[in-house]
Amino acid sequence: MNDKEQILSRLASSGMPERPYPDFDFTPQRFDDRRAMFAARLEAAGGRFVAMTPGERLDEVVRRCFPEARSVASTLSEVTLATLNPDRVEDPRELVDLDLAVVPGAFGVAENGAVWVPQQVRHKALYFGVTALAIVIPHDALVDTMHEAVVRPEVGDFAYGCFISGPSKTADIEQALVFGAHGPVAVTVIERP
């Protein structure tokens, strides 16, 4: 008998009662106010939620949220203050350290404040190399949980996409939390009406 068999034999003879597997059938969580939960969870992750008012232009919201941004990349036609179209950049390293990127998101998840961001630009480096990231989502594009999110058609189209929930962060052994260690220092989700 080898070591593995000895260990398993001892465990089997220890007299521990057998326990049935837990029932995997459950009802996913639902939120009375998805929008409020999404905003709270996004902010808990270090991000910011901004709702546009009817009649407000996206340029106005971007300028209000990022008044210091000088280099702004976007392919969205409503972002006329963009200084760079990222699809015209050949080398993705040119997108690193831009002040701001304004990109579309498909939908948000209330339980964790995450947004599904499908790659709709030439280089996905845009999502991770900029100093600040603004993700624009439609008003009615929130789901309660990741269970709902992963079965949406946008997630299963086999193209690149990722869930983003707040800025990148890391903590070391001394428990110092650092934002922007692996990507944007700031993430703002803008909900358009």
Residue 58 is predicted with a pLDDT of 96
Query: Which parts of the chain fold into alpha helices (H)?
Result: 3-12, 34-44, 58-65, 125-129, 146-149
Closest CA to 119 of 157, 67, 147: 157
State which fold the 29-192 domain adopts.
Rossmann fold (3.40.50)
Residue 63 is predicted with a pLDDT of 96
Residue 191 is predicted with a pLDDT of 97
Percent of the chain with pLDDT over 70: 99
pTM of the predicted structure, to 2 decimals: 0.83
Q: What is the mean pLDDT of residues 51-73?
A: 96
pLDDT tens figures, 87-104: 999 999 999 989 999 999
Task: Please report, for residues 23, 32, 172, the alpha-carbon distance to residue 27 in angstroms, rounded to integers and kept in the order given.
Answer: 12, 15, 37
Residue ranges per structural domain of the chain: 29-192
Its sign, for the CA torsion 148, 151, 152, 156, is positive
